[in-house]
Chains A and B, each alone.
Chain A
Amino acid sequence: MKKVLAGLVVAVALVTPRLAQAEKLVIACGSVGQEQEVCKQGAEAWAKKTGHTVQVMSVPTDAGQQLAQFQQLLAAGSSDLDVVRIDVIWPGIVANHFIDLKPHFPEDVLKQHFQPIVKNNTVNGKLIAIPWFTDAGLLYYRKDLLEKHGQKPPTTWQELAQVAKVVMDAEKKAGNDKLVGYVFQGKSYEGLTCNALEWVDSFGGGTIVDSNGQVTINNPKAVEAIDFFASLVGNVVPKGVLSYEEEGARGAFQSGNAVFMRNWPYAWSLANAKDSPISGKVGVMALPKGGAEGKSTGTLGGWQLGVSKYSKHPELAVDLVKYLTGPEEQKRRALVGSFNPTLTSLYKDEELLKANPFISSLYETFTNAVPRPSITGTKYNQVSTEFRNGVYATLSGKGKAADNLKKVEAKLKSLGKNGKW
């Protein structure tokens, strides 16, 4: 009897190692709401497959607050967080706290993602995060209003202003004086940097700081761009735009009170929701050019997944990241939550195209998206603040773009002396 018992114990001991080592990972992946839910589903699927558990940490909705929170934890060397969702502008800031993922991902897998994003996530040769989903600025417009007044969707910003004015005036005559022409994110926060960068780039004015670290913002085309939009505030663009974030602009557009809106792709499904007053009346396209010689562009957004250097289970965490950024999960997220994939092949996937027809036009936008200057590394937030302060001042009537951009240039040059950031 004793021998049988001993044999049983040995057998159990041989079988249980896998079960006994069920680990728990913590992932911070979404600012609650649908994002957190979808992420939870993905994480739980991986957990079921591997027998470990994943806890999803809830974070503030504001990206800046998220960054502050993560930095507190990471600076303290905390092992409370294993996998972190990073904004596209953070790699330079947090690179120090993440492990290099290059050794864990074969070259051909990395090539399947949008290359600009991969490059964005590489700091000093270290790949600190894998692209997870991407975003870029888009132009939304009221198909029905444009048709009603015989207008065509604009190809340049100047056309947009004209079309907006025509529609606004005509509607006002008919008694609807709540309608405004164009809304965007004009509050002094990161969203304004995104919008202003689009303006400048679409006019051919460069990208604030070029890829060599030289400050290029003070040039005639950039000045023209900012002045142009400043001139719109108060007539085609309501003054209230200066306090709008994404939701403010969407609120104005979705309630039917704006002809044009610049926003991220997430607004599409909400605009066409059952209880939306403008359901079925919305068109979406890439942002207009800045004049005939300009280009159509959109600021690159999106989020990536990285593994904390202080995690107690780096191998497992990398495995979780591999699963979440893999084609199966990215496709599911696109279908369920409209999260735009970073794997280029998915843009030709039939199922996705059927569910979300405009995803093919998004492909163009993402390939041509303009990234914010990550060359500025840890000083990015400061660069962004100085830039948008100058833009905000111009928009609110405090000085002309020429003067304000000159000041911005001086400040940026003192931050990044001679291209060294």
Chain B
Amino acid sequence: MASPATSLKGGTSALSRVRTRAAWLFLTPTLLVMGLVAGWPLGRTFWFSFTDANLTDLAASRFVGLDSLRQVLEDPDWWTTVWTTFRFAGVSVLLETVLGMVIALSLNAKFRGRGVLRAAMLVPWAIPTVVSARMWEWMFNDIYGVINAMLLSVGAISESLAWTAEPGLAFGAVVAVDVWKTTPFMTLLILAALQMLPGEVYEAARIDGASPIRVFFQVTLPMLKGPLMVAVIFRILDALRVFDIFFVLTGGGTETMPMAGYARQRMFEYQEIGVGSAAASLLFALIAVFTALYMVVGRVKLEGE
């Protein structure tokens, strides 16, 4: 009789057959729900990408092959949004990671009120985006916004800035709000990982007389690589799909529009479901390619031993 250890590893023994059957049984409910909830809508989007569907008369849509896709690729506005989105993702994920690291390191230390500060730190993440974007919109207002008021009173600026108006400043404003909102997610993951690190390593480093900075870069950081990579990948996925923050803070101007905003504009403002779906499919493809690259370069493992 084969030992349980080897039969857990697969092969065609009776046990592994039973387990494989169980696996599929266990997966079926999830696959059913996913098939329904994700399969149908995503399938429809892919389907629409190959048609010229229009909201004014959906029944009259015809198959047009790659034409809708071509329209998107040939539109310079599309490429503007691609650039805006990737720039946004790069800058904000970088800032969130750095800031998250700083805050996590601070909260890792022992001090009174640590629990309260940890809970407080989660507030930005707990507030619905729709709500926090409006809060910040209110604060950024150029005439009676509190940010301008404070900056003016300490003399940092000579006149009120139009934070959400000028395209250059607007991008910064959107990044600032997004960083504020999602840094807690990064902080949480990094803090968790920090708390799992073995204390002996630090002891050894201290006995060796290494400076805190060296300790951080040569001891702590390498050990954090795993959780950091996972957190970053999910943040990048979210950042590339961003829509809410841009829409609430800057409206629908093409200069400050992300890729998802472009898809939405085509679908619901221009009624061009076909072209909009093509843009959404393109967005998906870009993200998938990027994720694959990231996983290969970062050597993220998909399975255990």
Contact = CB atoms under 8 A, between A and B. Distances in A.
Interface string B36-58: 00000000000000000011111
Given A240-B162, A242-B165, A255-B144, A381 B270 contact: yes
Interface string B260-275: 0000010011110000
9 contacts: A75-B58, A95-B56, A186-B165, A188-B255, A238-B143, A240-B160, A240-B162, A255-B144, A378-B271
A379 interface: yes
Contact of A385 (B56, B58, B143, B269): B269
Interface in B43-99: 54-58
Contact of A238 (B54, B162, B252): B162
Contacts of A178: 143
Interface of A: 64, 67-68, 71, 75, 93-96, 178, 186-189, 238-245, 248, 251-252, 255, 257, 378-379, 381-382, 385, 389, 392-393, 396
Interface residues of B, number: 29
B143 A251 contact: yes
A188 B251 contact: yes
A44 B269 CA distance: 33
Given A71-B55, A389-B254, A379 B162 contact: no
Given A240-B142, A378-B56, A71 B166 contact: no
A239 B143 CA distance: 11
Contacts of A393: 255
A188 B162 contact: no
Given A71-B271, A241-B165, A257-B143, 11 more contacts: A64-B268, A75-B58, A96-B56, A189-B252, A189-B253, A239-B162, A240-B141, A242-B165, A251-B141, A382-B269, A392-B253
Contact of B254 (A188, A379, A381): A188
A381 B269 contact: yes
B252 A188 contact: yes
Nearest to A243: B165
B45 to A, nearest CB: 15
Given A188-B251, A188-B253, A71 B165 contact: no
Interface in B136-170: 141-144, 160-167, 170
Most buried by A among B55, B58, B163, B251: B55
Interface of B: 54-58, 141-144, 160-167, 170, 250-255, 265, 268-271
A71 B255 CA distance: 26
Given A187-B251, A242-B162, A243-B164, A252 B143 contact: yes
B251 A189 contact: yes
**By DSSP majority rule, is chain A's interface helix, strand, loop, or mixed?**
helix
B171 to A, nearest CB: 13
A188 B269 CA distance: 14
A67 B268 contact: yes
A94 B57 CA distance: 9
A71 B251 contact: no
B55 A75 contact: yes
B142 A238 contact: yes
Contacts of A378: 54, 56, 271
Nearest to B167: A396
Contacts of B255: 188, 392-393
Contacts of A381: 269-271
Contact of B268 (A68, A188, A389, A396): A68
